[in-house]
Structure 1
Amino acid sequence: MKNNFFLLLGLFICANVYAQKRDSVYAFSYFKNNGQDGLHLAFSEDGLEWKALKNDQSFLEPEISADKLMRDPCIIRGEDGRFHMVWTVSWTQKGIGYASSKDLMKWSDQQYIPVMEHELKARNTWAPEITYDPQNEEYMIYWATTIEGKFPETQIEDDNRYNHRMYYVTTKDFEYFTDAKLLYDPGFNAIDASIVQHENKWVMFIKDETKKPVQKNIKTAFAETITGPYSDISAPITGEYWAEGPTAIKIDDEWFVYFDKYTNHQYGAVKSNDLINWQDISAHITMPKGIRHGTVFKISRKELKKLLKAK
């Protein structure tokens, strides 16, 4: 009788896990061209074959900033059940864009968050992302900024004298934000951080933007808390091609990291079961034509069904 109980319990757990997997699919937010037409979305059953939604038309057009761009859209599902999105609004402004939605189709008013307006010598605020911190029950928004005169040891004339580091604010409600602070200085020009929780640690995927000697690849760093301090940087997890805009998700027992092979006008991916040893699976993924830097996340099949009807 006891053995039968544990057998039934095991079958129940397996069935529940399978049902949860069956009830969700993977979604990808991205932009095309210069980001002038706004938010694009794609979906996948297995994380390998991706199909554009709404005939690859925009789900939300940019309205804020003089440039009216919506580059690098990052979407997460919040603890409130809503989808929260941040994006790059301009090449030169000192703030980022924010909007939220219940269904990825109808969005709130677009909000400009002036995260670096206090820095007179800040040149930009690029590739913002959001990660939820369950320990403090708050969201961390982080991005890359070049501040003229800071970190002179890595300042060069190439790349238009950009010399980024990662900065952050936290918020509980997307109305009130803490003051911006330095999140990570890996000792080189760095951009495009994306942070996920793995077991009891946080892992940051970040682009080494160094041009001399050339890097232009994705690396990792680890921390005990979401705001750091983060460890020394790893060796590259991507290949000889130039890569940017990493975004990660766990599929079964493996971490998949997608990235933009921007000089090749292709998308790439690597996977790992330990976050140390990585396998390049770029040849096995199919992405919408023209896809640029975005974010992977999960949605329910019910939500997908509605998105498939979007016109």
Structure 2
Amino acid sequence: MVANKIIAEKSVYLFSYFKGNGEDGLHLAYSEDGYKWLSLKKDASFLTPEVGKDKLMRDPCIIKGGDGLYHMVWTVSWTDKGIGYASSKDLIHWSKQEFLPVMAHENGTRNTWAPEITYDEVNKEYMIYWASTIVGKFPETQSTEDSGYNHRIYYTTTKDFKTYSPTKLLYEPGFNVIDSSILKDGKGYIMFLKDETKVPAQKNLKVAYSDKLTGPYSKASAPITGNYWAEGPTAIKIEGKWLVYFDKYRDHKYGALKQTDNGWEDVSDKMVFPSGIRHGSVFEVPKSMLEQLMKE
């Protein structure tokens, strides 16, 4: 019945992540309920990084595209002007890794961090976005803290991963911002983001909204995380409510928030994650795909 598409195949959740500094590449974990996560392949890497200045694979973000392929972008280096890209049908065999020089046009670019992809079903195109610091930009929030980094979110769009639109500014919230993650939410979009301000300390997660994927996005909300430093949000809707996973990086723990009718509830103590998990992305796959991954 499933093979003939008479009934929908059950899906499971996958989490793409990195360990250490990202030198060994892509790690995957799975969950049936979004709470208990188990690593795949005995927590060995599924893909070794090959591109960029430092050949790292940090912050791997994977989405399923309109073409049925899984598209992944990642941070290749602490100081490069581009990102990594590859695609796969099965998350096991990957296309040749590419370096996308998305910030090469800006001489003062210091970094290109935590790229993500969101698919626009209406326009049949992909938006790739990331955080960069450009020396001299946004002096009103420039600080000597955090090595003088002062990020904003930038983006490009593509329909085919061959040609890309010129890079543009996506989000300027009036503060140092990184780790943007955008998902379809009703008729519009929700952006989870990190306020990177160190003095006075923010280091928390906030949300913003837009009717269109490419913006403009609303003013950032009040913090949705608590009295700890948080980063790297990724979210999925389970039973109609957002579940947001993030790195409590100073505590060396992974955390989670659940959306409720009254705001956000910290459900970190209900989670089980693989040891050493760092910043990544959560997405759904058919159960048959998980069964193939479990054979690796």
| TM-score, normalization by structure 2 | 0.97
SS at 1:278's partner residue? strand
SS at 2:263's partner residue? coil
Q: 1:304 aligns with which of 268, 290, 295?
A: 290
- Between 1:82-91 and 1:22-31, the stretch displaced more is 22-31
Which structure has the highest helix share of the two? 1
| C-alpha distance in structure 1 between counterparts of 2:201 and 2:59, whole Å | 23
SS at 2:219's partner residue? coil
- Displacement of 1:137 in angstroms is 1.1
Q: 1:221 is matched by which residue type in structure 2?
A: A
Name the counterpart of 1:139. 126
| C-alpha distance in structure 2 between counterparts of 1:253 and 1:97, whole Å | 32
| C-alpha distance in structure 1 between counterparts of 2:266 and 2:47, whole Å | 32
- Displacement of 1:66 in angstroms is 2.7
| C-alpha distance in structure 2 between counterparts of 1:226 and 1:65, whole Å | 28
Q: Write the mapping of 1:219-258 to structure 2, written as runs, cut at 5 A.
A: 219-258=206-245
Q: 2:279 is matched by which residue type in structure 1?
A: H
Contact conserved, 1:267 with 1:282, CA < 8 A, in 2?
yes
Name the counterpart of 1:7. none
Q: 1:65 aligns with which of 38, 42, 52?
A: 52
- Displacement of 1:243 in angstroms is 0.5
Name the counterpart of 1:214. 201
- Displacement of 1:277 in angstroms is 0.8
| C-alpha distance in structure 2 between counterparts of 1:268 and 1:40, whole Å | 18
Structure 1 runs of 4+ aligned residues shifted over 4 Å read none
Q: 1:243 is matched by which residue type in structure 2?
A: A
| C-alpha distance in structure 2 between counterparts of 1:202 and 1:53, whole Å | 31
Q: 1:281 is matched by which residue type in structure 2?
A: V
| C-alpha distance in structure 1 between counterparts of 2:54 and 2:169, whole Å | 26
CA RMSD of aligned residues (A): 1.3
SS at 2:130's partner residue? strand
Q: 1:288 aligns with which of 274, 281, 285?
A: 274
Find out whether 1:31 has 2:18 as its counterpart.
yes
Question: Which one has the largest radius of gyration?
Answer: 1
Contact conserved, 1:26 with 1:43, CA < 8 A, in 2?
yes
Q: 2:198 is matched by which residue type in structure 1?
A: K
SS at 1:120's partner residue? coil
Find out whether 1:271 has 2:258 as its counterpart.
yes
Report % sequence identity.
63
Q: 1:149 aligns with which of 126, 129, 136?
A: 136
Q: Gaps (5+ residues) in structure 2?
A: none
Name the counterpart of 2:61. 74
| C-alpha distance in structure 1 between counterparts of 2:252 and 2:69, whole Å | 32
| C-alpha distance in structure 2 between counterparts of 1:104 and 1:135, whole Å | 26
- Displacement of 1:273 in angstroms is 4.4
Contact conserved, 1:253 with 1:273, CA < 8 A, in 2?
no
Find out whether 1:262 has 2:237 as its counterpart.
no
